[in-house]
């Protein structure tokens, strides 16, 4: 379902992004700020899209796909969805390197440049309103995307469900809190840096730079500074 907000014809409009070679599409919502307009994905990236990325880059055919500078993540040694759910659920456990590689792949399949948000963009999109899956109501699991009420600009799960990668001056961080975060600590109060504990039980040596064995609460959301070319 496409969020219907109060947008005038002169304001930047939401748009639906299709992905070349697939039947998958997702919605992008505009955010106007003193630094200009950007668009941010209405939901966290689901497995439905992230799995297409994984299948593509782990295929031998990728050698002839014409996509440069993308080294695919090796298959994880265990189920990275932790049994929480796959179709319709947020993708989890990817490292910042994997998230950035995903954005590069997605950009190659669209006519736009997609990135993880900057922390400033994320905070500008973190408006009032919206429900949240958190430690007190999530029953120790992720939940399907867009099953809580949206915030004031139509974004679901900006707080809770899974934390989201953002770029900062000090490097990648995870913000927003997750299903493991107490409700009172959600949002910008939850800003985490990846550390060794996030991968301590990974049996691979060296440990995977693509997957976190012990951080099942890390996901991502997308931004672009280019709106719908058909507007």
CA distance 103 to 66: 16
The pLDDT value recorded for residue 77 is 59
Which domains, and CATH codes, for the chain?
A: 15-224 (3.90.1580.10)
The mean pLDDT value of the chain amounts to 88
- What is the rounded average pLDDT of the residues 46-74? 70
Q: Please write the tens of the pLDDT for every residue from 63-82.
A: 444 444 445 566 665 678 89
Share of the chain above pLDDT 70, in %: 85
The pLDDT of residue 61 is 64
The mean pLDDT value for 26-50 works out to: 95
- Give the mean model confidence (pLDDT) for residues 15-29: 95
- What would the 3-class secondary structure string for the chain be? CCCCCCCCCCCCCCEEEECCCCCCEEEEEEEEECCEEEEEECCCCEHHHHHHHHHHHCCHHHHHCCCCCCCCCCCCCCCCCCCCCCCCCECCCECHHHHHHHHHHHHHCCCCCCECCEHHHHHHHCCCCCCCCCCCCCCCCCCCCCCCCCCCCCCCCCCCCCEEEEEECCEEEEEECCCCCCHHHCEEEEEECCCHHHHCCCCCCCCCCCECCCCCCEECCCEECCCCCCC
- Confidence at residue 2, expressed as pLDDT on a 0 to 100 scale: 42
User: 132, 202 in Cβ contact below 8 A?
Assistant: no
How far from chain centre, in Å, is Cα 175? Answer: 11
Q: How sure is the predictor about 185, in pLDDT bands with cuts at 50, 70 and 90?
A: very high
Is the pLDDT at 96 greater than 70? The verdict is yes
Residue 1 pLDDT > 70: no
């Amino acid at each position: 379902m496409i969020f219907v907000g109060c947008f005038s014809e002169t304001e930047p409009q939401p748009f639906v992004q299709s992905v070349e070679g697939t039947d998958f599409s997702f919605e992008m919502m505009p955010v106007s700020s003193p630094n200009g307009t950007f668009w941010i994905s209405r939901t966290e990236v689901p497995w439905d899209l992230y799995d297409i990325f994984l299948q593509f880059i782990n295929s031998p055919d990728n050698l002839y796909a014409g996509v440069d500078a993308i080294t695919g993540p090796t298959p994880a040694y265990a189920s990275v969805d932790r049994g929480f759910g796959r179709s319709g659920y947020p993708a989890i456990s990817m490292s910042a390197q994997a998230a950035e590689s995903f954005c590069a792949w997605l950009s190659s399949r669209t006519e736009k440049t997609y990135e993880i948000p900057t922390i400033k963009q994320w905070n500008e999109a973190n408006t009032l309103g919206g429900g949240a899956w958190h430690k007190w109501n999530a029953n120790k699991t992720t939940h399907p995307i867009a099953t809580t009420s949206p915030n004031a600009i139509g974004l679901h799960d900006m707080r809770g469900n899974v934390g989201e990668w953002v770029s900062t001056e000090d490097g990648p961080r995870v913000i927003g809190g997750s299903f493991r975060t107490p409700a009172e600590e959600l949002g910008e109060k939850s800003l985490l840096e990846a550390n060794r504990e996030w991968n301590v039980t990974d049996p691979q040596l060296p440990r995977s730079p693509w997957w976190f064995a012990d951080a099942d609460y890390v996901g991502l959301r997308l931004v672009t500074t280019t709106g719908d070319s058909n507007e």
